[in-house]
Amino acid sequence: MSKEKFDYFINGEKGKYEVVIGLEVHAQVLSNSKLFSGSSTKFGADPNKQVSLIDSAFPGMLPVINEECVKQAVRTGLGLNAKINNYSVFDRKNYFYADLPQGYQISQYKNPIVGEGKVLLDMPYGSKEIGIERLHLEQDAGKSIHDMDPSSTYVDLNRSGIALMEIVSKPHLRSPDEVNAYIKKLRTIMRYLGTCDGNMQEGSLRADVNVSVRKVGDKNFGTRCEIKNVNSIKFMQMAIEYEANRQVELLEDGKEIDQETRLFDTKKNETRSMRSKEDAHDYRYFPDPDLLPLKLEQKLIDDLKKSLPELPDNKKERFIQEYGLNPYEANVLVSEKEISDYYEEVAKLSDKKLAATWMMGDLFAMLNDKGLNISNSPISAKNFAELVQSIKSGEISGRIAKEVFEIMVESGDNPKKIIESKGMKQQSDPKELEKMINEILSKNKDKVDQYKAGKEKLFGFFVGQVMKLSGGKANPQLTNEILKKLLKG
């Protein structure tokens, strides 16, 4: 694979700027109940149906940590090659808002559960390591609904108290493409681990995006702006594009950048100021006296480490070694755990390389077309493997295979059965083929003469005729060989 060069820069009149990006990703922990209460976390329930007395902050209610959420955070930390802190503390982040029942969010401030780690990105210009600053656990807030009534705001507390992991990157990202790769990689890792479903439509993954610019070669960072709560990769990329250019324009005009919190307006495709540094909240963090510090036994961490599934980076290496895939194929096939599982099942039963080609080609195109995932693919891995094997063995041609594939999608049937019942088996008997070809040549004497006179283009015409007569079942390779032989004679 040829390596391209990194080239995301903004050219101004006064120089060339690079964009520095850091992300605070909020990932919803996969767990049945909330971080400090027994309420369900299921998405899509009617408003305020999954709210306990704790989530709605009734007098005298107390939080009790959900151990599963702690384990999920540890697993995620391990998946990010990060340091797990045996001692961490829950703090209260105090502010008033109608969808924040306690008047504070329980979060982790000075002592997070997970420390520094790293994530590897595969970029066209090579692999790049992105540092993780920390991961901490915190509660989600509820949702304020402003457009249901002209004079009132409605509040839905179903989300209130759901566990989030805030994953803070170091300012190592340099382009919207890297942000795209980073978010996808994080999501892949968490989905492998089963710690976050990564569903951005349902709000399971959101990010605050910190953007600054500086002239290429500058050692110091520029003043950054934080774009709050962006909930799709596309919007993150658009917001960064807009924000970086806005900052460069300011600098080019000799103006200063104000450190501030901004919002991305998805309709106007622009960021606008939400609050300046001076107006920043004073959250008055202090350790939550209702909760004891979280002390993790090393054994628990070690046990969780042992029980981790194979992660995408390792799996990719293994696919290259074990299945002879190239890095690009391996990358695509490990991008989702379900895809890699499907591939491995197919590869066990058929040609490994051909399986990869057909999966990444026809299968993915079909799934994409139908808006399906690999896990609800109409073609089972076993059937798909049989199809690949039929191609490999020469039982059917690639062209026929596409037809069989279509029928498999519609019927879910086994390819052998389809080939049998429709008589789609490839004609590979040289005698039969010779008979057929002689018949065609005798019918087209004029063309044979022209061919012999040097019009070699007509070879394709004869192949076409064979295919037509055989209903597309003639073995193309044999057909070629026999045609050549007979045309010579």
Partner 1 sequence: MSNITNQSLSEILESIKSKKISSLELTQAYIKNIENAKKLNAFVTTTFDQALENAKKFDNKPNNEQLLSGVPLAVKDLFCTENVKTTAGSNILNNFVPSYESTVTKNLWNNGAFLLGKLNCDEFAMGSSNETSFFGNVINPIGDHLVPGGSSGGSSSALAADLTPATIGTDTGGSIRQPASFTGTVGLKPTYGLCSRWGIVAFASSLDQAGPMTKTVNDCSIMLEAMSGFDEKDSTSINKKKETYSKNLKDNIKGLKIGIPKEYRVDNMPKEIDELWEKGKKILKDLGAQLIDISLPHTKYALPTYYIVAPAEASSNLARYDGVRYGYRSQKGKDLIEMYENTRSEGFGDEVKRRILIGTYVLSSGYYDAYYLKAQKVRQLIKKDFDDSFTKVDAILTPSTPSSAFKIGEKTNDPVSMYLNDIFTVPVNLAGLPALSLPAGLDKQGYPLGLQLIGKALDEQKILNIGYAFEKNCGYKNEIKKWWS
Give the residues lining the site for partner 1 (CB under 8 A): 53, 56-65, 92, 94, 96, 98, 101-104, 153, 155, 282, 284-286, 289-292
Residue with tokens 């891995």: 381
| Between 120 and 291, CB nearer to partner 1 | 291
| Between 61 and 467, CB nearer to partner 1 | 61
CB-side exposure of 431: number of CA atoms within 13 Å? 0
Q: Smallest distance from the beta carbon of 317 to partner 1, in angstroms?
A: 43
Q: Smallest distance from the beta carbon of 213 to partner 1, in angstroms?
A: 28
Q: Smallest distance from the beta carbon of 321 to partner 1, in angstroms?
A: 48
| Nearby residues of 435 by Cβ (< 8 Å), 6 or more positions away | none
CA 211 vs. chain centroid, Å, equals 23
| Between 159 and 214, CB nearer to partner 1 | 159
Q: Smallest distance from the beta carbon of 87 to partner 1, in angstroms?
A: 16
Q: Smallest distance from the beta carbon of 368 to partner 1, in angstroms?
A: 45
Quick one: tokens of 293? 């510090």
Q: Smallest distance from the beta carbon of 354 to partner 1, in angstroms?
A: 57
Contact 34, 220 (CB under 8 A): no
| Between 127 and 276, CB nearer to partner 1 | 276
| Between 8 and 285, CB nearer to partner 1 | 285
Alpha-carbon distances, residue 115 vs 24, 86, 128, 133, 428 (angstroms): 14, 10, 20, 6, 63
CA dist 266 and 21 (Å) reads 19
Q: Smallest distance from the beta carbon of 22 to partner 1, in angstroms?
A: 22
Cα radius of gyration (the chain): 30
| 354 closest CA partner among 333, 382, 378, 385 | 385
- Residue 82: how many other CB atoms lie within 10 Å: 24
One-letter amino acid identity for 235? Answer: F
| Between 107 and 479, CB nearer to partner 1 | 107
Contact 131, 169 (CB under 8 A): yes
| Between 284 and 382, CB nearer to partner 1 | 284
Q: Smallest distance from the beta carbon of 281 to partner 1, in angstroms?
A: 10
CA 377 vs. chain centroid, Å, equals 18
Q: Smallest distance from the beta carbon of 261 to partner 1, in angstroms?
A: 16
CA dist 166 and 68 (Å) reads 17
Contact 135, 80 (CB under 8 A): yes
| Between 101 and 312, CB nearer to partner 1 | 101
| Between 284 and 392, CB nearer to partner 1 | 284
Q: Which class for 92: exposed (0-12), middle (13-18), buried (19 or more C-beta within 10 A)? A: buried
Residue with tokens 């199809």: 387
Alpha-carbon distances, residue 310 vs 122, 127, 292 (angstroms): 18, 20, 34
Strand-pair partners of 145: 154
